[in-house]
Amino acid sequence: MEGLMLSVLSLKEKLISRIRAKEADIGIIGVGYVGLPLALHFLEAGFSVTGFDIDSEKVNRLNKGESYIRHIPSSRLIRFIRLKNSRGFVATTDMGRISEMDAILICVPTPLTNKREPDMQYIENTGKDIAKNLRVGQLISVESTTYPGTTRELLLPLFESDGLEVGKDFYLIYSPEREDPGNKKYNTKTIPKVVGGITKDCLEVGVALYSSIVEEVVSVSTTEVAEATKLLENIYRAVNIALVNELKTLFDRMGIDIWEVIEAAKTKPFGFQTFFPGPGLGGHCIPIDPFYLTWKAREYDFSTRFIELAGEINTNMPYYVVQKTIDALNERGRSIKNARILLLGLAYKKDVDDLRESPSLRLIELLEEKGAIVDYNDPYIPKAPKTRRHRIEKHSVELTVENVSRYDCVVISTDHTEYDPDFILKHSNLVIDTRNLIKNYGDYPEKVKRA
C-alpha cells in the first residue's frame, strides 16, 4: 500500500511540476468565444497550446494567426503560431493528438434542443474522443456550462471504462467558464476561477493548472458545486432581467418610462443592483443555462417555477417588440405587410460580433413572418452566418442618409457605441428603440417609440 501511495503521489507531483515549470502541453477542445481567449492566456503565460475543433475552416484560419473574433486582435495570436518542432500554438481537427496533452480543457457548446432540454451531443462526443485517447497522468477540465452531475455521471464513466481510476491514473475537474465577450474591465486572468474536483488530488492538480494563468482560484468541495455555481450566476441574471422586462411592459401601459425609473432607483447605495430591459436575451449563457437546472430538477420531482417564469417572459420579448412595431406603423397608416424595416444590431450585446442566441435573429424572423421586408446593419457582422437554429441570409446595410431615410421603420435592437443617436433620429421616419439609445428626442418626439 505504501509503495502504491508513493506511485500515486509521484504521478500527481510530476504533473504539477510540469505545470509550474510551464512545460505542460495544454489541449483546448472547442476554440471559440471561450476556448480562444483561454488559449491565449495559457500562451501568454508561457505554455504550449493545441486547439482542437471540428470546424476545419476555423482551424485553417487560426493556424495562419487569424482571429475570427473581433474583440480578439490577430496580433495577440500570430506571434504564438507554432513552427515545426517548436512550442507555441497550433490548431487541429485530429482528435488523436489528445494523447499528447498533459491537460485537456473542454470548451464545447452546450445548447438546448427544440424542447428546451440539454443537448449534450457535443459534450458526449468530446468525452468519447478523450476516452479513446486517454493516457495515464492527464488532467481533464470541463469548462462547458452544464447541469450538476454531468462531470461525475456522464463523463467519469467514459474515462474509467478502460480500467483507469480517477485521482490515481488521471485527474478530472469542473471549472466553469466566466467569459464576458468584449468586457474591457474583466478578462480570463482577472475573473476568479472556480474549481471543483472529483477527488482531492484532482482538485489539487486543477488548482495548480489555473493558478498559473489567473489571479485567484476559488476551490469548492465537489464538481457538482462548481457546476451549480455557474448556473446560479446566470439564473440570477435571467430572473432579474425578466423582472425588468415585465416591468417595462407594465410601465408602458401606465405611461411610465422604465428607463427613468431605473436611473432613479440605482441612486440607492444599497439593496439594489441595476438590470436593464431589452428585446430578449442573448449570448450562450443566460438564455440557455437556467433550463439545464430546470431539466435536472425534474429528476428530483421539483418544479423550478421562478426559472420557468423568467424564461417565459424573456422568450416573449421579441413578440412584444414586434407588436409595438406593428402598432407604431398603424398609427401612421402603414401596414406591417410590405413595410421596409431596418434592424440596427445583430449581435446579442453592444460592441461585439457575437450573435449566439441573439434576439435580433428572432426579431427578423417574426417581422418577416408578418410580411415585412427586413434588412439589418451591424458594424461587427458584415454578413449574417448560419447558426444552429437560424438561416438569416443577409448582408449588413451601410448606414447612410439615403439608406436610413428609405425605411418605414428603424428598430434598435443592439446599442453599439458606433450608432449615433442624433443621426438615427434625424434621418429615420420612425424609430422603435428597445435599448434606450435615443435619450433626447429633440425636435422629433413623434418619431420615437420605446419597446
* Model pLDDT for residues 182-232, shown as the tens digit of each residue: 788 888 889 999 999 999 999 999 999 999 999 999 999 999 999 999 999
Lowest-pLDDT range of 34-43, 78-87, 336-345: 78-87
User: Does one domain contain both 192 and 124?
Assistant: yes
User: Does one domain contain both 214 and 303?
Assistant: no
For 109-154, what is each residue's pLDDT tens digit? 999 888 888 999 999 999 999 999 999 999 999 999 999 999 999 9
User: Does one domain contain both 301 and 216?
Assistant: no
Provide DSSP, 295-333: HHHGGGT---HHHHHHHHHHHHHHHHHHHHHHHHHHHTT
Q: How far apart, in whole angstroms, are the C-alpha atoms of residue 82 and residue 284?
A: 30
For 408-440, what is each residue's pLDDT tens digit? 999 999 999 999 999 999 999 999 999 999 998
User: Does one domain contain both 133 and 6?
Assistant: yes
- At 412 the pLDDT is 98
- At 5 the pLDDT is 47
- At 84 the pLDDT is 62
Whether 353 and 322 have beta carbons less than 8 Å apart is answered as no
Residue 318 has pLDDT above 70, yes or no: yes
- At 119 the pLDDT is 93
Q: What does the pLDDT average to over 276-303?
A: 89
Is 285 an active-site residue? yes
Q: Is residue 266 part of a domain?
A: no
User: Does one domain contain both 223 and 283?
Assistant: no
User: Does one domain contain both 218 and 328?
Assistant: no
CATH for 389: 3.40.50.720
The boundaries of the domain holding residue 170 are 2-228
Name the domain count of the chain: 2
Which among 110, 424, 82 is positioned nearest to 291, based on CA atoms?
A: 110
More confident residue, 73 or 8: 73
Q: Is residue 128 part of a domain?
A: yes
Q: How far apart, in whole angstroms, are the C-alpha atoms of residue 404 and residue 409?
A: 9
Provide DSSP, 257-294: -HHHHHHHHTTSSSS-------SS--SSSTTTHHHHHH
User: Does one domain contain both 200 and 347?
Assistant: no
- At 85 the pLDDT is 66
Q: Is residue 271 part of a domain?
A: no
Residue 47 has pLDDT above 90, yes or no: yes
The domain boundary, picked from 192, 207, 228, lies at: 228
User: Does one domain contain both 335 and 428?
Assistant: yes
What is the CB neighbour count within 10 angstroms for residue 303? 10
Q: Is residue 258 part of a domain?
A: no
User: Does one domain contain both 136 and 29?
Assistant: yes
User: Does one domain contain both 204 and 302?
Assistant: no
Q: What does the pLDDT average to over 268-280?
A: 95
Residue 2 has pLDDT above 80, yes or no: no
For 324-359, what is each residue's pLDDT tens digit? 999 999 999 999 999 999 999 999 999 999 888 899
Q: Is residue 240 part of a domain?
A: no
Which among 375, 400, 396, 374 is positioned nearest to 384, based on CA atoms?
A: 396
Q: What does the pLDDT average to over 364-378?
A: 97
Q: Is residue 28 part of a domain?
A: yes
Q: What percent of the chain has pLDDT over 70?
A: 97
From residue 205, give the alpha-carbon distance in Å to each of 109, 198, 320. 25, 11, 49
Q: Is residue 340 part of a domain?
A: yes
User: Does one domain contain both 307 and 222?
Assistant: no
Q: Is residue 264 part of a domain?
A: no
- At 432 the pLDDT is 97
